[in-house]
Each structure stands twice: as structure tokens, then as C-alpha cells.
Amino acid sequence: MSLSIRPASECRYDIASLGEIMLRMDPGEGRIRTTRQFRVWEGGGEYNVARGLRRAFGLRAVAVTALADNEVGRLVEDCMLTGGVDTSFISWVPYDGIGREVRNGLNFTERGFGVRGAVGVSDRGNTAISQIKPGQVDWDHLFGELGVRWLHTGGIFAALSESTAEVVIEAVTAAKKHGTVVSYDLNYRPSLWKTIGGQAKAQEVNKAIAPLIDVMIGNEEDFTASLGFEVQGTGDNLDNLEIDSFKAMITEAGRTYENFQVIGTTLRTVHTASDNDWGAIAWSRDEGFAEATHREHLEILDRVGGGDSFASGLIYGLLEGEPIQTAVEYGAAHGALAMTTPGDTTMVTKAEVLKLAGGGSARVDR
């Protein structure tokens, strides 16, 4: 493996995430438009990866983010503390009383069931983290004095504002200066880009960031919409997932960006909201391609966070120095298990991931 990972003994943290953390409002089996109660979770495309590495795999995690200093922000912090993620790098922004200048993001998401797909409604305008600017975080302190083995960030955070994209480049540049491996999940969300230039803007931003990334992660839509790569032989809805076509796309991505050392992509065919085919492939510049166990008709309880859990499983394998085949199996197994529980973040154990990745069944353990 050509990734050069800092020894754990030299670093305070194994993983740092950079991104927005929102409060998810979950109506459970009901619908947003008719519910009278919500269950709350914390979640964010970048943060979920760090939390998964902390809770499922026992690694040391820190989240770099910003929150408005009010009761909602403190609730998000409390959820983070429950997840074991270090909150030392939260930037607390004074609250103006009504959210005119700064606020915390809310993410209303229903899980879907059967023919009714999942639905998400984000309420995240003017959030504290969307207003972060270069120069506000002491990256040399984090990556140099404290030490971080791995930084994970992604396309959701980069899409929040012009300045967040600039902060991604600042953070990634500092991380690489100090020998920290950097992963990036493209995580294309049309709703984030539609009023600021759509796919064209997404590609402009992500193509500027891509040359700085060691491990690039995404699904089929992410690579198409965010980086402009084409997956041959798929329909407009990307519902005919041919492995050879994805391998050709990944090969082209690795040729275009010689800095990519590993590329990971999830493969999902949606039959219904609660019945998905699920798999993953990964490519290493040293080892070539590896394909995870393909799970047809996987039963889904809550699909949100499945891709983030894939990323954390893959990263765990890479941090442990495992072959790419083992790492992608960890990722696919962790993603599959995470989608059997509610909320954005993992509720599974390393033992469960290793069991499923090794071919274990769902027979009762007692």
C-alpha cells in the first residue's frame, strides 16, 4: 500500500473530520408532514465517518466544525459527546437571538418504506459552519503539534459556501504538510448546488480539490456529477450497475489524478426503499481492484449514513494496513449493518463488522 500513515504513537487523533454537523429530526415510521413527534440524532456526511471510526472501531476521533452557541447547538454537542468524538475543535459562534445572522442546521429526514422512498428536507441556511473562513482554524496546531493520522472531509461541506471550499483546500494542504492522509467523499447533493451553479459549479469546486486527495470515495452519481467521469452502460437513473463499467471509470479517474492512491465506490440498486442490492469496489494504485461481497436484496431500515459507514470501514482497514480486499469488505459490511438501525450514525460493533465481512450470518448470538 502506497499510503504513508503516521504511527499512532505520534498522534493524539487517528481521525479528524471537517464538516457540518446538523440535528436530524426523524419521524420514525411516520412522515415529516404528519408526525407529531421527532426523535433527534446528530449527523453530517463528514462527521459520520469519524464517529463510526470512534464508536464501531474504537479509534480516537475529533470533529472540526462550528455551531451557534444556543440550546440547539449544545444538544448537538451532547450527542457528539455520547458518540465519544472530541469536541475541542468546535468553534462556538455567539447566537443573535433569532438566527438572522447565525444558526444551527436541521435535517428533517424520513426513512421511507417499500415503494415510498426516503425524503430529506434540510433547513441549513446561514449555519455557523457555512460561514467559516480560511485562517480561523489553527491547522498547524491540530496536524503538527497534536498530530492526526487521517483527515476526512467531503463535497457536502465544500458546497455550503465559497469560503467552505476554500477552507477545504486550506485544511487539506496543511494536513499533507504534516504527513496526514486525506480522504474525501464527493457526496453530491443536487439541493446544495442548484442555486449556485448546479453540476457545473460542483465540478469546478471538486476538480480544484481532487488533486490534493489521497483516498477518493463516492458512489456512481458522485463521480459523474462532481468530477465529470462517465460510467458507460448505465441508464439515466444509474440503475444498471455494471462492475466492468465502474472499473473502467475508476481506472480513468486514477489516470487523471495521479495523486489518488485509493478509490472506493459503493454500488446500490434500489428495488424499493427497504430492498436494495448493496456492494462496493475499491482500487489501490499498488494492488489494483477488489470487489466486496455483493448482497442482493439487502433489507434496509434506514439508508441514511450507509455510504458514510462504508467510508469508515474502508478507512479502518487502510489504517490497520490491511490489503485493499479486506478494507473494502470492512466498508461494505459496516455500511450494510449501519442501514439496519435508525439514525445517521453507526450502532454496530467491530466484532459484528468483522463477522459479517468474514461471511458470518444473521443467526442469533446468545
Q: Give pLDDT, residue 360.
A: 66
Whose CA is closest to 14, among 65, 51, 48?
A: 51
Ranges of residues in the chain whose predicted pLDDT is under 50: 236-240, 364, 366
Q: Return the pLDDT at 174.
A: 98
Contact status, residue 187 vs residue 225, Cβ threshold 8 Å: no
pLDDT at 366: 46
**What confidence score (pLDDT) does residue 361 get?**
61
Return the beta strands (E) in the chain as ranges: 13-18, 22-26, 39-43, 61-69, 90-94, 106-110, 119-123, 148-154, 181-185, 215-219, 262-272, 275-284, 288-291, 295-299
What is the reported pLDDT for 246?
Answer: 87
Pairwise CA distance, residues 349 & 341, whole Å: 12
CA distance 49 to 188: 16
pLDDT for 238: 44
What residues does each domain of the chain span?
A: 9-111+122-131
CA distances from 197 to 88, 139, 166, 333 (A): 35, 30, 17, 36
Residue 332 · residue 292 · CB < 8 Å:
yes
31, 166 contact by CB (below 8 A): no
> Under CATH, which architecture does the 9-111+122-131 domain have?
3-Layer(aba) Sandwich (3.40)
State which amino acid sits at residue 84: G
Cell of 253: 479517474
